Amino acid sequence: MSDMTRKFGIHAAVGVLAAAAAWCVHAQSAPAPDATAPPAQAQPVANAPQDAGASQAMERQGIFKAVRGEVTVVRGDARSAAVVGGPLRTSDRVITGPQSAATISLLDGTVIELGAGSTADLTQFRFDSTTNEGGMLVNLARGTLRMITGLIAKTQPEHVKVTTPTAVIGVRGTDFIVEAQ
């Protein structure tokens, strides 16, 4: 038992930890940068399951695990600062400012890291946790992206794609970096 817990009780210790966590989340948030174009429309991943329909666009497909500097989420016409623990949904655009970065964990265990000055869209994401089947399409408009693939790529690598303005990348490995200028 810590000295703080002995002296003030467990409720005080929990309160201090909650306040520290709230401060950390607040310290990581940042104001949104200037407006940019809305997410581009891209072709869906071939043969990806279509059973979830439009309702998946409203569901959380991933969460922000780390946010550094100015990181903005564009959802339709709404713009908001990304925060650790905040949701990422299908059709969201993530924009990182200069000297900024974000790490996102998707439902299948895929980890996406965006470097400074990047713009990326989660154009498509479907995942069935029972069968580990699904599909993913990420559009990197500019900047750098590192992807550590999850369960979809392990069971159906042909259903994981990353597009850039000049290329379409079919995923066959488990960890790779892409840069678009």
Read off the pLDDT of residues 93-117 as tens digits, 9 standing for 90 and up.
999 999 999 999 999 999 999 999 9
**In the numeric block, which tokens belong to residue 93?**
């655009």
**Alpha carbon distance 121, 87 (integer Å):** 14
Burial of 169 (0-12, 13-18, 19+ CB in 10 A): middle
Mean residue pLDDT of the chain comes to 76
> Whole-angstrom distance between the N-terminal and C-terminal Cα of the chain?
53
- Which position has the higher pLDDT, 133 or 180? 133
What pLDDT score was predicted for residue 173?
66
Q: Looking at the predicted structure, is the pLDDT value of residue 18 above 60?
A: no
Tokens of 101: 């970065």
Of 47, 13, 27, which is closest to residue 158 (Cα–Cα)?
47
What are the tokens at 57? Answer: 């666009």
Q: Say what the pTM is.
A: 0.68
CA atoms of 145 and 168, how far apart (whole Å): 14
Return d(Cα 77, Cα 121) in angstroms, integer.
14
Pairing of strands 119-128, 160-163: unpaired
Q: Would you state the pLDDT for residue 26?
A: 34
pLDDT band for 167, please (50, 70, 90 cuts).
Answer: confident
For tokens 């400074």, name the residue. Answer: 116
What average pLDDT does this structure show over 61-80?
Answer: 97
